[in-house]
Structure 1
């Protein structure tokens, strides 16, 4: 075995300071997560219960296998916007009758479960994950439809949700709808376009137009039950495949549907024996310094997440600012690319390109551990071909067909974010640590560039340069970029799939690798032209 050693001093001043910084950030994030967990608040939840209904997360808990984990995704969607944290929908991967499924549950306690612009964006991401990884989709439906005041941002793009459901079905990915309440107007197409539909007696209401709209449109008098009730759809329209007596019965039926799918994974099975890392995951709290300008060794992270802390490093003496190598994680083979000193030089880019090609030859998923300020700039490096070498790495990342998972640990700036498989490069999953930051460049650098450009413009026009105003501008820009590069800001915009506690990294990666193995894992030899 090629076991990684560790030089961390958990009693050292630097480690303690980093751990305290991470713990503080985790507490701040937990406060925001609690807002999502609270749904519409205590009164709304109590009102919902008095109607004999379960909250969304309790429905999920009953649906998934007992004592199995639920990997919630995009929990902080809509953070920092005018809409509730979580965007009125709970989404994630759970195991139902031994099958990993993508579960989408409207939260009716939060604005009636209405779809706002962030609900739409979150739903698109969830459907993308389900289709890439061939995960059966279970929709727990109870929604008042579109958030009408923002319909201009919901209606036109929102149709993609229904398109995605039918495309999943066409691709042979099972879709199941358990209707717990209203599923009105466009929302009626969720059960309408699902392969299997369960409705609940005197509770499910599915219609294109409710009684008031029907009255306005046709003059016809009708009631909820005759127009769109569960019994009507079970007996007359045929929209309901199963007629449940209550919510518990609907969940039981839903589990039975999944059991009968005869669903099989198409990817490789993990090694049966899982070997824990040799080092404590608790120590991940203090590895990333509070000041991201201070470098850290990503091998310390690798040693705490891979099986047996066993890591075969590839080209350790070449391009040493990027650590690459092979390992297993929860029994699954993986290739790892981890930034060691932030900056990517030509050697690192060429090393990464070769490593990505090898991973594709071996049908091995790749994990990218981000802490990069980008590709190196300067006359020497431009003349040395940093553009073509960086482009080579990005080309390899873009065209690689093995699954990618990205973890933003520290900085993820500039084109380095792209080369390390940022959001735009379709990683199967992307998570951030509380310490992460991502932007076009660091706040101080960006403010400095703006200042230099402004100074040059003033000189070209023969105008005096206001040093005091420039100082204020730089401070303002730095503060803005700092705020916009933080993980909660980015997670709120669904630029990641969630912020995770560093100590949970191994567990989260294991769940992702298991989900990924639902689909075939196949590499490619077809890359774009590499400019040599």
Structure 2
């Protein structure tokens, strides 16, 4: 085995305190997830069932292969906003007839399935995942269109949904639309621009304008069925490729379509019968301290997620606050970069740049495990070239073309968030543990900086400094930054793809690596200029 033995002691007081704090956060997050699972609430769920309709997640469960997992993405979208948690749409990755697919399902129990700004962002994120990883996109459509009070934030950027469908098709990535109810106005173009369309007898309603608008615009009398029903589209317009008798039949047909796609992976195949990690995933609960100022060894995390806990560390004696090395996870090769002591120095930055180049030469995906306060500051470090060395690492991350996956374990502050492939650097997937925090800097540091600036300004004006007001300001800023750096706040704004239970990290990363392998994996031929 290429990794050192674990020194985690689950019986220690420190471990117990960290595990208890993690469990408490998980309970809180589960409560927020429950809001998304509840859809529009008991009244609307019951009304939907009474109409003989399945819920969005019930449709997904019947669509994907029996007993296969579904990796739901952005379940807390819109958290902390005026809109319902989950944003009225379910997105994720599921296996259909052995093919990994991106699935987008409107939840009609939430405001009739209408799209608000967060619904749009969540759906566009799903489209990006389908395009980047060459995965078929399946839309389970039942939507009342745009949420009209917020149309100013939905209409113009919403055109990307249709652009994405055509680009997916042009790239040879199949798109499938199963229409369970309304798909009207702009929403009519979702089946209109999909490669394969299934409509359901007396259920699907697809038209550019409903009967009232047609009456107002042209004076023509019509009803839903003759204007845009499934039978009309199957027999007359030709928009429906398949005519289903009910929802279960539509899902059966959808599975059959995927089975006939002949869609094959173009990346590396996983090694079969991989050994599990030698250490218990349950122990991941207590590795990250509740106080993120206290360091932890990311090798303890690595040992509990990679195959056989086998990790070949690269440059272990150089730039030791960044751990780098090679492993396999669920049989897929992966290079890992993990923060060990928070701060990134010049040595860590240069080490990271070299490691990323090697991963690109070997066509190996990269996994970033975040716990960084950023790049080191101070006169000595500036003189030694901290800026150009940090830029070297960021350059390597930005121009690397092998797929990246990021997991925020603890802190992810400042430019260190960028160097470790934060959201702005387009990792294929980014998830957070409940212990994660991300902001321009920690709340105490930010408040302290503003306090120092204020004190200097008062002295320059010859004024007395108000210590009481300063203390109140610092407390207010610390509280604000703490609230805005919490994972639920960030997840609600789609700055990650979801908050995961630490014990599920191996499974989640394995599913992501498998999804990534649907597309070819090719390293970069060149990088930007490295300032030496």
TM-score (structure 2 length as normaliser)? 1.00
- 1:196-207 superposed matches below 5 A: 196-207=196-207
- 1:29-68 superposed matches below 5 A: 29-68=29-68
State whether structure 2 residue 19 is matched by structure 1 residue 19. yes
State whether structure 2 residue 146 is matched by structure 1 residue 146. yes
Q: Distance in 2 between matches of 1:40 and 1:528?
A: 49
- 1:102-141 superposed matches below 5 A: 102-141=102-141
Q: How many residue pairs were aligned?
A: 532
Which sections of structure 1, spanning at least 5 residues, go unmatched? Answer: none
The alpha-carbon deviation at position 193 of structure 1 amounts to 0.4
Contact preservation (8 Å) 1:36, 1:86: yes
The alpha-carbon deviation at position 464 of structure 1 amounts to 2.1
Q: Which residue of 1 aligns with 2:292?
A: 292
State whether structure 2 residue 393 is matched by structure 1 residue 406. no
Q: Distance in 1 between matches of 2:4 and 2:177?
A: 47
Q: Which residue of 1 aligns with 2:238?
A: 238
Q: Distance in 2 between matches of 1:356 and 1:245?
A: 53
Q: Which residue of 2 aligns with 1:472?
A: 472
Contact preservation (8 Å) 1:4, 1:309: no
CA RMSD of aligned residues (A): 0.6
Q: Which residue of 2 aligns with 1:78?
A: 78
1:308-366 CA-to-partner distances (Å, cap 9, x unmatched) read 00000000000000000000000000000000000000000000000000000000000
TM-score (structure 1 length as normaliser)? 1.00
Q: Distance in 1 between matches of 2:82 and 2:485?
A: 19
Q: Distance in 1 between matches of 2:249 and 2:97?
A: 16
State whether structure 2 residue 211 is matched by structure 1 residue 211. yes
The alpha-carbon deviation at position 43 of structure 1 amounts to 1.1
Contact preservation (8 Å) 1:183, 1:205: yes
The alpha-carbon deviation at position 296 of structure 1 amounts to 0.2
Contact preservation (8 Å) 1:39, 1:109: yes
Q: Distance in 1 between matches of 2:5 and 2:421?
A: 27
State whether structure 2 residue 311 is matched by structure 1 residue 311. yes
Q: Distance in 2 between matches of 1:459 and 1:206?
A: 69
The alpha-carbon deviation at position 4 of structure 1 amounts to 3.2
State whether structure 2 residue 507 is matched by structure 1 residue 507. yes
Q: Which residue of 2 aligns with 1:495?
A: 495
Q: Distance in 1 between matches of 2:172 and 2:463?
A: 66
Q: Distance in 2 between matches of 1:270 and 1:55?
A: 34
Q: Which residue of 2 aligns with 1:328?
A: 328
Runs of 4+ in 1 over 4 A off after TM superposition: none
Contact preservation (8 Å) 1:178, 1:197: yes
Contact preservation (8 Å) 1:491, 1:499: yes
1:221-243 CA-to-partner distances (Å, cap 9, x unmatched) read 11000100000000111100000
Q: Which residue of 2 aligns with 1:517?
A: 517
Which sections of structure 2, spanning at least 5 residues, go unmatched? Answer: none
Moved more, 92-101 or 2-11: 2-11
Q: Distance in 2 between matches of 1:437 and 1:265?
A: 35
Moved more, 269-278 or 392-401: 269-278
- 1:184-199 superposed matches below 5 A: 184-199=184-199
Q: Distance in 2 between matches of 1:4 and 1:436?
A: 26
1:446-496 CA-to-partner distances (Å, cap 9, x unmatched) read 000111111122222222221100100000000000000000000000000
1:43-85 CA-to-partner distances (Å, cap 9, x unmatched) read 1011001111000000000000000000000000000000000
1:82-138 CA-to-partner distances (Å, cap 9, x unmatched) read 000000000000000000000000000011110000011111111111100001000
Q: Distance in 2 between matches of 1:77 and 1:240?
A: 32
Q: Distance in 2 between matches of 1:215 and 1:142?
A: 24
Q: Which residue of 2 aligns with 1:90?
A: 90
Give 3-state SS (helix, strand or coil) of 2:438's partner: strand
Q: Which residue of 2 aligns with 1:175?
A: 175
